Amino acid sequence: MRVIVFSGKGGSGVSTLAAATAAAVAEGGLRTLAFGLAPGLGAAFGAPLLPEAQPVAGRLEALEGHSGAGASGEFRDWLEALLDWRGMDVELAGDLAGLPGLNHVGRLLELERCLDAGYDAVIVDGGPLSQFLDLPAALDAAARWLDRLFAPRQQTVFDPFLRVFAGEYASAGEGVLDRGRDLLGRLARLRDVLTDRQVSSVRLALPPAAGAAAEAQQAVAALSLYSFATDALALCRLLPAAVADPFFQPARGEQTAALAEARGSLAPLPVLEAPLAASAPRGVPALAAFARSVYGGRDPAAVLHAAPSHSFSRDGDNYRLTLALPFARREDVRLEQLKDAIAIHLNGRRCLLTLPPEVRYRQAGSWSFDGQSLTVTFER
């Protein structure tokens, strides 16, 4: 299975690029699902989409999220059950499900379910970068806290007495906790898939403007912090060569400079060119043709760049933790050693890495950053 997630600047054509990639991958013979975390794919395909997968053309199916009471699905249902069990107002579930970082949990659970539906490729329209960058942290927390928040409870000799006196209250509580454990476990499994570099990668879509390269660098570093691999950047809405009117020369100059800066500062990450069309491509044939113009001779389903990964190794009596943080700046990186983990701070984001048992009680004696990788040495 192959999973490709698209995100980028709002209005730069993220949904169009995701839909075009899905159309091209399906055209190549793979059973493909285009999955939208939010509306956008339907407009690209030229047909309204539902929250459930439906055929679009040939081997291609698609779905997209919608706002409204049903958008949070089983996660919201669980919140309502949790609040009801604790004697709280169940209407608060809607407010909780709409909080930043939680508002996409229902759709992420649906994505996890779709990954087991037999598709060869799943192309995800992740929406605006400002929102998408919150999702890796949420999935990371789900994976990290699964055992701590919902560890299986050991039976005790008091359980029969508890059931006698607590009755339905105790039984309902066990059901709520079991359901929460299941949902959190599914989010943790989704994280495992999305951080598997043989399976998943992220592609960024940005407009060809000044600052695009710097924004891409920050996004790549933030994603890498949580082990998400970025395999390409697409600069979208580039003026085609056929546009010769002098009126557009200043814009063309700005785009040419942005393209050169991106290629120079993001190497070896591939930089794709998505041309501006007279009208936005709509429908599967037009989208597949658009994808061919973007990818050229590249296979859109392939991993376009082998991004470096985190590693843990032993050097004599010492152990080394190496984190790939491409394009991060040393002044933006900060370490914090906890009891059994290392917290990495990067530009206001925090990633907690649980340490292996062999170094859990060692001190991080030193650390270094070479502009691409952060190395932490644990000494005796």
Where do the structural domains in the chain lie, given as residue ranges? 2-143+193-295, 311-379
Tell me the pLDDT tens digit for each residue of 72-86.
577 777 777 877 777
The dihedral formed by the CA atoms of 287, 288, 290 and 292, expressed in degrees to the nearest 10: 170
pLDDT at 162: 38
Name the nearest CA neighbour of 372 among 303, 305, 307, 312: 307
Does the pLDDT of residue 101 top 70, yes or no? no
DSSP 329: -
Domain 2-143+193-295 adopts which CATH fold?
Answer: Rossmann fold (3.40.50)
Tracing tokens 């041309």 back to the chain, one arrives at 275
Q: What is the pTM of this model?
A: 0.87
- 346 and 333 Cβ atoms separated by less than 8 Å: yes
pLDDT at 149: 56
Domain 311-379 adopts which CATH fold?
Answer: Immunoglobulin-like (2.60.40)
Query: First vs last Cα of the chain: how many Å apart?
Result: 42
- H/E element, 272: strand 271-275
Residues listed for the chain: 380
Tell me the pLDDT tens digit for each residue of 103-159.
677 788 889 999 999 999 999 999 899 889 988 988 887 776 666 655 555 554 444
Which of the pair, 159 or 320, is modelled with greater confidence? Answer: 320
How much is the CA Rg of the chain, to the nearest whole Å? 23
